[in-house]
Structure 1
Amino acid sequence: MSNKQNRLNNAFTMLESFLALIVSVMVIFGLTMLTHSRKDVGQIDALFQLQSACQQLQEQGYQLISSDESRLELSNEGHLKRLLLKRHRLILQGRNRGEMVLLTGLQNLSFRNQESYQIVEAKTEQGEKLRAFLVLPKEVKKE
């Protein structure tokens, strides 16, 4: 009889198997929800980075010299800079081609001049649309 009891004790009961299945499903469901929420955070991060880049340019005292749909010409204390998209990156390019990367992972970028401000619109490589506002004073030409 003791052999029979040992064989019964070594096997899982139906209740234990069912509980293990429920725990496994809950873990898989939790991981799935975590990956979906991470995708949303990625979009918020890109939008936040674009808005932060615009805010940083405003606070550093840049002035607008000229604009077109693909780039902005800026000035800061007499130093000329360009804000443009290059190799899927939003960059601030200096006169001697020095570059500061402000945002990566962009598919396209456009600027719309609204006279007192610029609308910066971008699309990420994942297809998310981003929009920010850049308020820069126009450079006053000294004569």
Structure 2
Amino acid sequence: MTKDDRYGATDDDYSDELDGYASDSATASGSSVETVTVESEPEESTSEPDPDPLPFIFARRTVKADRDAVPVYVQDQTATEIDELERELSQTFEGDKVMALDVREALIRAGLENVDDVQRVMEEWGYGRR
């Protein structure tokens, strides 16, 4: 088992699609990009969140950015099911590079949003029988 198998590959290319896109395409065609600064009156600062924030996979610089490492040891059957889910999601999101870390965190998020299912699984493992 490689480090990429455990933690997911780090070759997240979503940030490459956004960072420097205009400059890369402009220099490739031999033209230059000119920056125009428009002065305006400062807007009032509001504490309202951005109504349409950039989705996580596009806003991050790398797949590990803005994440804490949380080692998780799983049973063989669970590891097999995660691998199968990763393949299935890669087919579902065919145009996107599905990152293993994203799938694993999505599984955790889904569990946090469905704590009754988490409790059911833990009871199946024997919790609450003492």
Higher helix share: 2
- Identify whether the pair has TM-score above 0.5, normalized to the shorter chain: no
| TM-score of the superposed pair, with normalisation by structure 2 | 0.24
Larger-Rg structure: 1
| TM-score of the superposed pair, with normalisation by structure 1 | 0.22
Higher strand share: 1
Which one scores higher on RCO, CA 8 angstroms, separation ≥ 6? 2
